[in-house]
Amino acid sequence: MQGNRSRDTAPELAVRRLVHAMGMRYLVNTRPVAHLRRTADLVFRGPRVAVFIDGCYWHGCPNHFRQPIANADYWRDKIARNRARDAETDELLRREGWTVLRFWSHEPPPTVAQAVRAVIDRSEL
């Protein structure tokens, strides 16, 4: 179902708190588009903005993913599949008219929250 997208991680919670404190309202761990079996971390239905906060390991962050020595092929394939799925999710949502914002879980939550706000503000003009 959800693959490796874990829910309510610490970075995700921190971003949610900040975005909420800025006065923005959103849905959590929801499908932006009902018929697409893809769940975003924060969903802004009105402006159609979907936010993903990707775990550094599972999504293959260039700074933090380290190839394990044991079962190297397995992990390489697994992370590659996750990344392909992420790209496919972005494409599917964009085709439905959504703006997709993707961040790494290592990015400072205030930076992420500001970036989200910039996009939401622009979409409300």
Task: Please say which residue, 27 or 87, places its beta carbon nearer to Zn ion.
Answer: 87
Residue 55: CB minimum distance to Zn ion, A: 8
Residue 43: CB minimum distance to Zn ion, A: 23
Residue with the two structure tokens 């923005």:
24
Task: Please say which residue, 95 or 106, places its beta carbon nearer to Zn ion.
Answer: 106
Task: Please say which residue, 14 or 36, places its beta carbon nearer to Zn ion.
Answer: 14
Degrees to nearest 5, angle at CA 120 with 117 and 123:
150
Residue 56: CB minimum distance to Zn ion, A: 3
Residues making contact with Zn ion (CB under 5 A): 56, 61, 63-64, 104, 106
Q: Any bridge partners for residue 82, and if so which?
A: none
Side-chain-side CA neighbours of residue 1 (13 Å): 6
Degrees to nearest 5, angle at CA 56 with 41 and 14:
45
Write out the two tokens for 82: 């996750």
Residue 62: CB minimum distance to Zn ion, A: 8
* DSSP at 99: E
d(CA 41, CA 28): 6
Task: Please say which residue, 23 or 62, places its beta carbon nearer to Zn ion.
Answer: 62
